[in-house]
Amino acid sequence: MELSFILLPSIILLSFLYSASLFFKRDALLKPTKSTVLKGYPIIGNLPLFIKNGRRTLDWVAELIPTSPTGTVTVVPFVFTANPSNVEHLARTNFNNYPKADDLLAALHDFFGRGILNANGEDWRFQRKAASFEFNTKSLRAFVLDKVRHETVHGLIPLLKRAGRSGEVLDLQDVLERFAFDNICSLVFGEDPKCLSGESEEGEKFYHAFHEASELSVQRAMQPFSLIWKLGKWLDVGSEKRLRKSLEIVRGFVERYVTSRREQSRGGGDFLSRFAADGAHSDEFIRDILISFVLAGRDTTPTALTWFFWVLSSKPEVVEKIREEIKSIRSRHKNHDSEVLTLDELREMGYLHAAVSESLRLYPSVPLLARESKGEDELPDGTHVGKGWTVMYSPYAMGRAEGIWGKDCGEFRPERWMEDGVFQPTSPFRYTVFHAGPRMCLGKDMAYIQMKAVVASILEGFELEVVEKRGKYQLSMTMRMEGGLPVRVKERSI
């Protein structure tokens, strides 16, 4: 899953201030449209709206969308849309006109480098083509499930059993993030940092450095003026000094993995082996690619699972249906002893697939995506887009749009995905959780395999009780749950 949604209040303010001098000119360029246009005040334009709603961007966008008959609202120099036709236009039809913004790429460059999450143009095309080939191989899917199975059986399940016996309250979000980090590092490097078990000091150091580098990079991107973080970097003070030190640790770990693999010249199923095999690319470029993969696997899947288990805590009937499906599939395949289902069995779990999809519809890991228009354009619903404007579509708002999902759009109802007992997917331009077009998430199938395997293992073996009220989101690289998800665990007798 790409992580280009980082468009928080101060970035909005920065873009507004950059465009303020052109406000009247651009306002005059607005053509008649059926979509809603919020016209600003003289001189200050829409600044009061951005200040008022800066800390609640997601909810603000979700409130704006229903006010427009076309699902598009213009707040110069921004266009917010939940119109599937518009999404298809910017994500596929006119893809080349809507790259990631240069300012954002610059702010995240020290962490991501030229990796796929922070690239446009040829760098992006090369990585996308190479990754697309690898992600579509049967060997990778088998490798992914093998790693998930190992981490689940030898890490996650023993930890949950210990917590159940001791009565300890676990932060499930932290557990899932550590599990995901171990798993993605195994996939990417062929090495397990053992963060879930806490058995490796080096692994723990890598985990915390990676987390800090991620958080500080987001903070940098939130600065209203790039000069602020650039000056801090030049002076090597404050958060920029901390970011430099964290990045030294992260790069050191990744570079050691790359160098070791080059020297050993041994193959393997991990991403490092696949990308470094031909030796055609520099160690630095390989490092940037791998860091992007680690970040994507580390953040998005545990975020999705945290919200899923929180939703299930108030939906016992859904939990029971998932358990019945697992039991039925095991019986059909005569698989009663394995702690993790096979790939074929996981694929047959249509209701679990529907339940996960429904949770992601309401709580997408990446809730807002932004693109900068290189030239003037007109969206399919007639909305005018000026050069340099930012066009955003929000999976969060679209998942709550009555025009897309019906009057029960606010309800968690997995059955909306099922027809005659079979899961029915929908257009990626309506269901934008995994994005759409050329930048559609390559790891979608891998993410479903991981999530379904983890959910099945936990629900089969344990009861989870959420012990504190939760439900508020916190925006970072992904839409994490504020305060974590404290749960009490109890083993089930099967």
Residue 471: closest CA among 483, 455, 489? 483
Torsion angle of C-alpha atoms 217, 223, 226, 228, degrees rounded to 10:
-100
| Non-local CB neighbours of 51 within 8 Å, separated by 6+ positions | 13
Neighbour count for residue 467 (Cβ, 10 Å)? 13
| Non-local CB neighbours of 195 within 8 Å, separated by 6+ positions | 178, 181, 182, 203, 204, 207
Residue 378: closest CA among 20, 7, 83? 83
Neighbour count for residue 234 (Cβ, 10 Å)? 9
Structure tokens at 11: 């970035």
The Cα 443–Cα 79 span in angstroms is 28
Residue 455: closest CA among 332, 307, 330? 307
Contact 350, 422 (CB under 8 A): yes
Amino acid identity, position 207: Y
Specify the length of the chain in residues.
Answer: 494
R_g of the chain, CA atoms, integer Å:
23
- Contacts by 19-24, CB closer than 8 A, 24 or more apart: 19/76, 19/77, 19/388, 19/389, 20/44, 20/45, 20/47, 22/77, 23/76
The Cα 13–Cα 340 span in angstroms is 48
Alpha-carbon distances, residue 474 vs 57, 89, 120, 373, 481 (angstroms): 12, 30, 28, 28, 6
The Cα 418–Cα 425 span in angstroms is 9
Residue 369: closest CA among 426, 474, 439? 439
Could you tell me which residues are beta bridge partners of residue 491? 462
Please, what's the largest Cα pairwise distance for the chain? 72
Task: Tell me if 185 is assigned to a ligand binding site.
Answer: no
Q: Which residues participate in the annotated binding site for heme?
A: 441
Q: Which residues participate in the annotated binding site?
A: 441
